[in-house]
């Protein structure tokens, strides 16, 4: 079964500083990968998804970007953080096969922008 790793677990960054969050997946190949943000009172918001290396789609215009340099590595970045970027960031992977599709989530990164 697949395992999703995220780091760091928590991060406190000043406004205007850069950001890099990393997600890696074990136990599966060629997965679809997703970045979500969970903010208080707003539920889970899909930020980016990727169906393969260097294939990234953005769901909403924002201050963030994503990259997928390797099959099982997904990176979320920002050049200059805003206060509104604070939240709980979750990476997810999907498992496909035999007519089924299921998403699994990593442990998340708590980002506080001060």
Partner 1 sequence: KQEVTQIPAALSVPEGENLVLNCSFTDSAIYNLQWFRQDPGKGLTSLLLIQSSQREQTSGRLNASLDKSSGRSTLYIAASQPGDSATYLCAAAFSYGGSNYKLTFGKGTLLTVNP
Q: Does 105 bind partner 1 (CB under 8 A)?
A: yes
Q: Does 11 bind partner 1 (CB under 8 A)?
A: no
Q: Site for partner 1 (CB under 8 A): how many residues?
A: 26
CB of 26 to partner 1, least distance (A): 15
Stretch that binds partner 1, among 22-30, 63-71, 75-83, 88-96 (CB under 8 A): 88-96
Which one of 14, 61, 69, 99 is in contact with partner 1 (CB under 8 A)? 99
Please answer whether residues 82 and 41 qualify as being in contact, where contact means their C-beta atoms are separated by less than 8 angstroms.
Answer: no
Angle (CA) 65 69 73, round 5°: 85
Give the burial string for 45-57 (b: 16+ CB within 10 Å, else e): eebbbbeeeeebe
Which one of 8, 16, 27, 107 is in contact with partner 1 (CB under 8 A)? 107
């Amino acid at each position: 079964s697949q395992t999703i790793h995220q780091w760091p677990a928590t991060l406190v960054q000043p406004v205007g500083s850069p950001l890099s969050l990393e997600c890696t997946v074990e136990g599966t190949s060629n997965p679809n990968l997703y970045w979500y943000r969970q903010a208080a009172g707003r539920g889970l918001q899909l930020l980016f998804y990727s169906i393969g290396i260097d294939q990234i789609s953005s769901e909403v215009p924002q201050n963030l970007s994503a990259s997928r340099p390797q099959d099982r590595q997904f990176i979320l970045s920002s050049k200059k953080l805003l206060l509104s970027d604070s939240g709980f960031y979750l990476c997810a992977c999907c498992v496909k096969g035999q007519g089924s599709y299921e998403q699994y989530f990593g442990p998340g990164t708590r980002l506080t922008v001060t």
